[in-house]
Amino acid sequence: MKIGCPKEIKPQEFRVGMTPNAAHEAVQHGHEVIIETNAGAGSGFEDADYVAAGARIVDTAEEVFATADMIVKVKEPQAVERKMLREGQLLFTYLHLAPDPDQTHDLLASGCTAIAYETVTDTAGGLPLLSPMSEVAGRLAPQVGAWTLQKANGGRGVLMGGVPGVGPARVVVIGGGVVGTHAARIAAGMGADVTVLDRSLNRLKYLDDVFGGTFKNQYSTAGSTIELVRQADMVIGAVLIPGAAAPKLITKAQLSEMKPGAAIVDVAIDQGGCFETSKATTHADPIYNVDGIMHYCVANMPGAVARTSTIALGNATMPFLLALADKGWKQACQDDPHLLNGLNVHAGQLTYYAVGKALGIDVVSPSVAVKS
């Protein structure tokens, strides 16, 4: 199979879909790997590293898209990339379709087959291609939130750990999954007073067993959430209903109940965000103010630490990428129901129910699409 990897073009996105190690493995499996020049530069991988791995470097994204049977990326295809997708071509990347009707309609119109990293599952009930980036974004969240809290950035001017005689920042994390747990660990490590909210009692039991002495946890209801948010210096949004648009848990009216200059870090922004006032921002201009509350809503946070993120993502995607290339997507998905759960679009049809529900589009069962 011809596997193509273009340079990412989303603003300030420095990750790349394939590492030289992944390229090497694919070449060893008998595949041809085509990389756009400088695609890996932002993650510290030079063209020469890919050439040494057996890949071919081409000058433009157009050449990658025109040549490859499978496109491997990091971020959802941007409008100009969507125009280059064609019928029968396989796209393997993050998509986040539920909050993005334009992208969804373009992918359906292209006739391509699109497998979304964020909805591939595993036997433990996890999301193995989302979790490495959730680990990164979770660990980054208190770091960017602490910066947002600084007075010069519009924040309350509260130090995470406080100092002797002055108490620490109060941090509330909504959603205690991968992002939430990593965020809470780092915020607690910085000395903050941290509480995690979740709706899953099993998850709360796990958090209590493992991190009981490090941070607190509480069952998430509308009442418990606003009560904690009122007291918070920083609120981190980390909920997920897989594939679906994020539930809005704090309304615009409720911002007035928060402390002036408090910071919101809405990591769930890539699924639309869990605060009514959240809108996606970029690393170039990451924060904005609504009613005195500072919002940080970067949808590709891991791009800020591209080297760590590219390697972590590549470790997770490689076995799936090799299965898709070795067997073709239909056989690979028939052999692995967890990979089939990644199928979002095939030949003009939507194949993921939560996306169909969010966007009001009819859905064809992935198990039917894979046999069509």
Ligand X SMILES: NC(=O)C1=CN([C@@H]2O[C@H](COP(=O)(O)OP(=O)(O)OC[C@H]3O[C@@H](n4cnc5c(N)ncnc54)[C@H](O)[C@@H]3O)[C@@H](O)[C@H]2O)C=CC1
What is the binding site for ligand X (CB under 6 A)?
118, 127, 130-131, 133-134, 137, 174-180, 197-200, 203, 220, 238-241, 246-247, 249, 267-271, 299-302
Q: Amino acid identity of 186? A: I
Residue 8, interface with Mg ion (CB under 5 A)? no
Within the chain, strands assigned E span 2-5, 32-36, 56-58, 70-72, 90-93, 113-116, 170-174, 193-198, 216-219, 234-237, 263-266, 287-290, 293-296, 343-346, 349-350
Contact letters for Mg ion, residues 242-271 (x by CB under 5 A): ----------------------------x-
Smallest gap from residue 298 Cβ to ligand X (A): 6
Residue 299, interface with Mg ion (CB under 5 A)? yes
Determine whether 338 is an active site residue.
no
d(CA 205, CA 107): 40
143 is written with which tokens? 């770091």
Which residues lie near ligand CC(=O)C(=O)O (CB under 6 A)? 94, 130, 133, 270, 300, 302
Question: Positive or negative CA dihedral for 127, 73, 304, 283?
Answer: negative
Give me the numbers of helices (H) and strands (E) for the chain, helices first please: 14, 15
From 24, 31, 96, 295, active-site residue:
96
Nearer to Mg ion, 299 or 354 (CB): 299
Determine whether 270 is an active site residue.
yes
From 31, 270, 295, 336, active-site residue:
270
Nearer to ligand CC(=O)C(=O)O, 341 or 349 (CB): 341
Q: Which stretch binds Mg ion (CB under 5 A): 109-117, 193-201, 292-300, 316-324?
A: 292-300
Q: Amino acid identity of 246? A: A
d(CA 246, CA 100): 12
Among ligand X, ligand CC(=O)C(=O)O, Mg ion, none, partner that 174 touches (CB below 5 to 8 angstroms by kind):
ligand X
Backbone angles phi, psi at 215, to 5 degrees: -145, 160
Q: Could you list the active site residues?
A: 96, 270
